[in-house]
Amino acid sequence: MWLSLFLLLLPPASSTISLRDLQGRFATPDYPQGYPNDMSQTWEIKVPSGYGIQLSFTYIDIEPSANCAYDNVQIQADEALYPPSCGSWTGDWKKFHFPREYHTSGNWMRVTFRSDFSNEERYTGFSAYYTAVDVNECEESNPCSHFCNNHIGGFLCTCRPGYVLQENQRLCGVRCSGEIFTRFKGLITSPNYPEHYAENSKCHYTIRIEQGFQIMLNFTSHFNIERDAFGQCTADVLKITSGQKEYGPFCGNRAPVIRDHLSNVVEIHFSTNGEGEGTGWKIMYSSTAKQCPVEILEHNVLQPKNSDYDYKDSVRVRCESGYELHDNVRNQYIDSAMVHCQKDGTWNSSWYSCRPVDCGNPMALRNGKRNVTSTVYQFLNTYSCDEPYYKLEGNAIFECAATADWVAVGTSDGTLPNCKPVCGRTAISDDTGRVFGGKPARLGYFPWQVRLRTYDGKVGGGALVSDGWILTAAHLFDGSRQTTVHGGIVNLQGLSPEKALPVEDAFLHPNYRPQADGSEPNFEHDVALVKLRARAKLGANLSPVCLPAAGETSPLRAGRLGYITGWGKTEVRDRPIFLQYAEVPVVGMDKCRGLDYRGKRPRFTDNMVCAGQPGTDSCQGDSGGPFVLRDLRHPSRHVVRGIVSFGPQQCGSYGVYTHVGRYLAWIVKTMREHGSWEDEETRA
Ligand code: ARG
């Protein structure tokens, strides 16, 4: 007893063997001989971190005892001390309770063998080997908050998009720190707001505006920060500091209210735990700095275009289309200007203005008027013609466009309208009479009537058919081609020079032949046009007669009445002073054929019209003058259907007139080919 007590007090001989290789073998002392009594042997295995250890016993033979109290082998690893083991391998592992293999996830293992002072039999101990094995850390404990990637000897954490790996290399959080807000007004929200905020994040925001201004914070009502089980703000926390003032911690579902004006610097801290259980918060901050108005000048265009502008903001000012930026100090137009929002909430823009573009005076319209109240952008000019002698053709209303051009309203067309002469107007009512057997006309009855006098002294009439052309008879020019013309008169006495219509040229029908002495009269194609040197100004006393419509070439219906006019011979005077007029009917050509033409036989054709009645006729000196009929479709208009051409020796029954409708094509063509005047710009 004493001895045993003594022996128990004696510590067994002990030693430690360090194993550092990736694999190795070890066995009890003297193996495969019997192990010594009273000993303790420890093997300490260490492999590089990131590896685990697999330990296998290949053979084992240790004195069995209750609870393996006498001799045993004991394993310590992963902070666990396994129960001591003993017993023998009999070649059948199933009968042996000793685990053959151990695995650790840590990189360290300690194996201790102990024997007591006496062995009743001889036991050989054990033999074992170990290898370092890779540990799948990801499967074992998932150390990463998002994704874990195992590799031999370690693992790597990665994060979902939008997250970054934090310093500990395991947790994923969002990058939400360091942001500094320097504008005088703004919006700050938790990451991902109003979706769930990120877990494992520490967010820090700073608002720093210019000194002297104060910051106001305003939480929007949607507020949601996770609380702990006791309703305390320990899970996720929002804290706000400004100078000495501190607000928070805030959590829960009710948005905090901060009524104070804070200093010019505010810090916002928001930290979240591993869960990210909340949808966060939103702060709209404002400041005591005055904002500048969003409109700087009337009609301006700002760049950038913001919904508000704060002190120190700069913006480029231009003017909207149709306006130009004017520098009132330098008194010049500029493309744009940079202006700044000042401390008092105004822009330094007082010397600029957007002025509407000026189209200048619209072009004058011949025989018409402009009517404009202003010549700047979007103002209108309405053209009107001198009614009722001219009628407007084309666009009447023009607008000053952004391009500084006058354009027809709603188009980009700058083509001016035309004031076209109104034809066929007469002041006559039913006051009829006769030329040969006629009555004196009043001014305005036959405003188209003109008087011709050729340079060799021949006199006749003509009819204005536009403001620049006179229709007359070709035979008047048998002698001289040159002629003077007077219009707008009825009284030949004291003809004033301003009633003269200067002539540019005379155009005779190409098939007309002058009357040759001695041969039979041939007044075929007795038609001519006289072009005036300038367009005549039309009015009540001078305005054109209408030309027939195209295709009015058939013989005129007998019985139709028309007016003849002229200063030709009357029953009482060879040269009357006043223009005479009479109404005569169209008659059949046989009436004209049956008269005496000094015994000669003139040629009669379909290009002629016979008109007159006993007692009423045209006569010498009326040649070239018109025979006008009322336009059946427009009864207020008169159309020239005949030209006084020739007649029998004795006036007073019937006369022959050129059938104007047969020459319309030549008339129109001649007027068009020669129808431009030097002082006029040619228009399309
Ligand atoms: N050839 C004449 C002249 O030169 C016109 C004669 C008209 N005669 C007549 N009976 N209608 O004036």
Which tens digit of pLDDT belongs to each residue from 512-559?
Answer: 999 998 899 999 999 999 999 999 999 999 999 999 999 999 999 999
Of all protein residues, the one whose alpha carbon is nearest to atom 11 of ligand 1 is 655
Which residue in 266, 277, 271 sits closest to 218, CA to CA?
A: 266
Q: What is the mean pLDDT of residues 364-373?
A: 95
Of all protein residues, the one whose alpha carbon is nearest to atom 4 of ligand 1 is 623
Q: What is the mean pLDDT of residues 395-415?
A: 95
Is the predicted pLDDT of residue 96 greater than 60, yes or no?
no
Any idea which of 83-92, 329-338, 363-372, 522-531 has the lowest mean pLDDT?
A: 83-92
What percentage of the chain's residues is helix, strand, coil (to nearest 5)? 5, 40, 55
* Contact by Cβ (8 Å): 625, 566: yes
Tokens linked to 291: 């904002």
Question: 644 C-alpha to center of ligand 1: Å?
Answer: 6
Please identify, by atom number, the ligand 1 atom nearest to the C-alpha of residue 476. Answer: 4
DSSP string, 68-136: G-SSEEEEEETTEEPPPB-EE--S-GGG--S-SEEEESSSEEEEEEEE-S--SS---EEEEEEEEEE--
**Cβ of residue 462 lying under 6 Å from some atom of ligand 1:** no
Which residue in 186, 181, 350 sits closest to 266, CA to CA?
A: 181
- 145 band by pLDDT with thresholds 50, 70 and 90: confident
CATH topology of domain 12-135: Jelly Rolls (2.60.120)
Tokens linked to 469: 């052309």
Q: What is the pTM of this model?
A: 0.63
Q: Which residues contact residue 175 at a Cβ distance below 8 angstroms, ignoring those fewer than 6 apart?
A: 164
Question: 649 C-alpha to center of ligand 1: Å?
Answer: 9
484 SS3 class: strand
Please identify, by atom number, the ligand 1 atom nearest to the C-alpha of residue 621. Answer: 12
Of all protein residues, the one whose alpha carbon is nearest to atom 1 of ligand 1 is 646
Sequence spans of domains, the chain: 12-135, 174-289, 291-356, 368-421, 439-673
CATH number listed for the domain at residues 291-356: 2.10.70.10
Is the predicted pLDDT of residue 7 greater than 70, yes or no?
no
* Contact by Cβ (8 Å): 625, 563: no
Q: What is the mean pLDDT of residues 69-98?
A: 79
Find the helix or strand (DSSP H, E) in which 235 lies.
Answer: none
Any idea which of 85-89, 226-230, 265-269, 624-628 has the lowest mean pLDDT?
A: 85-89
CATH number listed for the domain at residues 174-289: 2.60.120.290
**Cβ of residue 655 lying under 6 Å from some atom of ligand 1:** yes
Question: 500 C-alpha to center of ligand 1: Å?
Answer: 24
**Cβ of residue 437 lying under 6 Å from some atom of ligand 1:** no
Question: 468 C-alpha to center of ligand 1: Å?
Answer: 26
Is the predicted pLDDT of residue 150 greater than 70, yes or no?
yes
pLDDT for residue 495: 87
Residues annotated as catalytic are: 475, 526, 623
- CA–CA separation, 684 and 672 (whole Å): 13
Q: What is the mean pLDDT of residues 389-411?
A: 96
CATH ID of 439-673, from 3.40.50.2000, 3.10.20.340, 2.40.10.10, 3.30.479.30: 2.40.10.10
* Contact by Cβ (8 Å): 643, 472: yes
- CA–CA separation, 583 and 592 (whole Å): 17
Of all protein residues, the one whose alpha carbon is nearest to atom 9 of ligand 1 is 647
**Cβ of residue 651 lying under 6 Å from some atom of ligand 1:** yes
Equal fold, 291-356 vs 368-421: yes
**Cβ of residue 647 lying under 6 Å from some atom of ligand 1:** yes
pLDDT for residue 135: 81
10-63 tens-digit pLDDT: 555 678 999 999 999 999 988 888 888 888 999 999 999 888 899 988 888 888
- 68 band by pLDDT with thresholds 50, 70 and 90: confident
**Cβ of residue 452 lying under 6 Å from some atom of ligand 1:** no
**Cβ of residue 642 lying under 6 Å from some atom of ligand 1:** no
Provide the residue type at 659 as one letter.
H
- CA–CA separation, 58 and 133 (whole Å): 18
If one residue of 475, 574, 623 were mutated to test the ligand 1 pocket, choosing by the most ligand atoms within 8 A of its CB, it would be: 623
- 217 band by pLDDT with thresholds 50, 70 and 90: very high
Q: What is the mean pLDDT of residues 658-670?
A: 98
- 500 band by pLDDT with thresholds 50, 70 and 90: very high
**Cβ of residue 567 lying under 6 Å from some atom of ligand 1:** no
pLDDT for residue 152: 82
Which residue in 668, 362, 629, 387 sits closest to 507, CA to CA?
A: 668
- How do beta strands 323-327 and 352-356 pair? antiparallel
Beta-bridge mates of residue 102:
55
Question: 602 C-alpha to center of ligand 1: Å?
Answer: 13
CB-neighbour burial class of residue 101 (10 A; exposed 0-12, middle 13-18, buried 19+) = exposed
* Contact by Cβ (8 Å): 125, 27: yes
Which residue in 548, 576, 577 sits closest to 562, CA to CA?
A: 548
**Cβ of residue 620 lying under 6 Å from some atom of ligand 1:** yes
CB-neighbour burial class of residue 450 (10 A; exposed 0-12, middle 13-18, buried 19+) = buried
pLDDT for residue 76: 92
- 212 band by pLDDT with thresholds 50, 70 and 90: confident
Tokens linked to 480: 């001289």
* Contact by Cβ (8 Å): 150, 136: yes
Please identify, by atom number, the ligand 1 atom nearest to the C-alpha of residue 458. Answer: 4
Which residue in 533, 540, 547 sits closest to 680, CA to CA?
A: 533
How far, in Å, are 255, 362, 367, 415, 669 from residue 684 at the CA level? 75, 19, 19, 9, 17
Architecture per CATH, 368-421 = Ribbon (2.10)
* Contact by Cβ (8 Å): 269, 207: no
pLDDT for residue 215: 95
How far, in Å, are 30, 88, 89, 255, 329 from residue 65 at the CA level? 22, 11, 15, 70, 113
